Amino acid sequence: MSMATMPQETTTIRTVCCGCTACCGVEYELSGETISAARSCPELGLGMEKLCEQARWGHLLNPERLTRPLVQRDLARRLGLSQVADANTSSTDPFQSSHVPVSWDIALDLVAGQLTSIVQSYGPDAFATLVSARATNEEGYLAQKLARASMGTNNIASAGCPGQAEARGTLLEAFGWGAGTTPLTDIGGADCILVVGAGNATANAMVEQLVGKSVARGASLILVNTTLPNLEPSATVRLRVYPGEEAAVLQAMASLIIDEGWYDEAFIAARAEGFGAFASAAKAARQADLLVSPALIAQAAKSYALGLQAQQAEPNMRRGRAMIVYLPDSNPPQAAAIGRNLARLALLSGQIGRASTGICILGGQANIQGIYDMGVTPELLPGQISISDSAARKAIAWAWGAPDLPARPGRSAADMLAGATAGQLRALYLVGDMPDGIQVPHDLGFLVVQASIPHPAAQQAHVILPATAHLEQQGTFTNSERRVQRLRPVLNPPAAARAGWQIICSLGQRLDTRLNHIRDPWDYRSVAAVMDEIGEVAPIYRGLTHQRLAQEGRFWPCPTSDDGGTPLLYSQRFPYGRGRFVRG
């Protein structure tokens, strides 16, 4: 048998899908260096009976890859890199007419030099960072560390998922953590499921499957401005209103629950605060003119509050179990209003802190929750700690070797792009593969793109840093139920591409040499060492090392190395002591 006809060795590698926030386990079979099959792997955590389309074909990477550092040709000429600027590029290079390839040292030195000049001329807040919600926890953590400790700004936010941070912020305010409260598999035990805004069923196929099984078992299903084609015919109540009126429907439900006495008086007395003021405000508020009938709103309110199954008119001996599934609105104020009203409904009805109750919060980009936990938000530090907490700022600054961290909240993603348009923002660093909707002003002073594929914003970049893609990475993701899971490299990256976390560290070293802000905090032996530091500054991640995550994921909070994690939040208490009926 010749070498050409010899069978190639077959291997299997398990990792996590990045198709949606469920982050299901996937086992890939490789023949040589080519993926030949993909199978569900629920042993890693979550897993469907059959892979959804995103998981099945997610290994087909974009063939148009960024394979080596690129510098805008005109910029190369202005900086005196004439030999580079006048070089011919390969016909396979993206942006070959506008950019030229350079070495990593030239690219990183150029970026560090330009950012240093901008910060020294215009101040730290002239710089901002946007991080893809498909970036790993380690990349997100290092990106916000670079922004805060090296550059001196809280202008750090996630990109392409408007409304997600705002929705989580309302849960943080009401309950104590900005995250889903319950394992997704608990949907199967719910007697009633309230789905709000989860219109993108294809992006959350796992959740649609779990809801479908629960409905088949007899659970009632309430849909508020939601399109789930496979479940719509079996919905118990469908509440269709104009976009933007979802919060008004939820307010109407809360008002009816109070008026009809369906609220959980014992739970509220023992575990909530602010009910009196909230109830008075709810009674004083006038009901909005809505498209749906009051009878349907009343049916939805009663079913949710009492946890009634589809064919059940009254509760049995005890209140049933109701869960909320929420895909935040892409309009941030509306997302916050809906999230706030969902939190009120859960507290009002005592539908939180028990199995198959609480709120599941979904999204289309896999690591939205992890990026939020890492402090990739203008008002929170890693571990969802408020930037206004001076003791926490000092403790984290000490851990990073920095004299202090900025106290003023930074710009949101939308404000960053608006500030760039107004000339208030001079430099922007995009970390990770961005959605096509990110639009950067053409006259921005300096744009750095770190990505694996050429997205539209990269065409405008002054410098492009080629990073590894999802199936080439090591690191961790945190899914929508707070399960932290390991990513393992399945494929080899292009020769010149580097891991995203390594790129940020190389840039951080150069910036600190020029700005002299902190003492060599970028010397990590491995990506696992980054996760170790995350545990040092974020107590909810303290027990989540790469070693402990080797076989399966674990839920945060996991405060110690011998803690098994916390799948269900608030079973005993809220971090604030009591849940809050937040006003607004």
Whole-number pLDDT of residue 494:
86
- Residue 550 confidence class, pLDDT cut points 50, 70, 90: confident
pLDDT in tens, 394-420: 999 999 988 899 999 999 988 888 877
- Write out the residue limits of the CATH 3.40.228.10 domain(s) in the chain: 166-362
Statement: residue 581 has pLDDT above 50: yes
Q: What is the CA radius of gyration of the chain?
A: 25
Whole-number pLDDT of residue 558:
96
- Residue 446 confidence class, pLDDT cut points 50, 70, 90: very high
- Residue 497 confidence class, pLDDT cut points 50, 70, 90: very high
CB pairs under 8 A, 24+ apart, for 473-476? 473/136, 473/499, 473/500, 474/499, 474/527, 475/136, 475/137, 475/138, 475/139, 475/501, 475/527, 475/531, 476/136, 476/137, 476/138, 476/370, 476/531, 476/544, 476/546, 476/549
Look up the CATH architecture of domain 8-57: Single Sheet (2.20)
Q: How many Cβ atoms sit within 10 Å of the Cβ of residue 551? A: 10
Percent of the chain past pLDDT 90, that is, above it, reads 60
- Residue 31 confidence class, pLDDT cut points 50, 70, 90: confident
- Write out the residue limits of the CATH 2.20.25.90 domain(s) in the chain: 8-57
- Residue 5 confidence class, pLDDT cut points 50, 70, 90: low
Whole-number pLDDT of residue 1:
45
Q: What is the mean pLDDT of the chain?
A: 89
Amino acid in the structure at residue 430: L
Average pLDDT over residues 534-544: 96
What's the CA gap between 37 and 31, in Å, rounded?
Answer: 9
Tokens (6 digits) for 396: 């984290």
Whole-number pLDDT of residue 59:
60
In this structure, the strands spanning 99-101 and 70-72 are antiparallel
Whole-number pLDDT of residue 389:
96
- Residue 174 confidence class, pLDDT cut points 50, 70, 90: very high
Whole-number pLDDT of residue 62:
67
Q: How many Cβ atoms sit within 10 Å of the Cβ of residue 577? A: 10
Contacts of 525 (CB under 8 A, 6+ apart): none
- Write out the residue limits of the CATH 3.40.50.740 domain(s) in the chain: 70-161+367-555
Statement: residue 229 has pLDDT above 60: yes
Statement: residue 4 has pLDDT above 60: no
In CATH terms, the fold of domain 166-362 is Dimethylsulfoxide Reductase; domain 2 (3.40.228)
Average pLDDT over residues 43-51: 76
CATH number of the domain located at residue range(s) 70-161+367-555 in this protein: 3.40.50.740
- Is the pLDDT higher at 347 or at 12? 347
Statement: residue 89 has pLDDT above 80: no
Residues 239 and 296 sit within 8 Å (Cβ to Cβ): yes
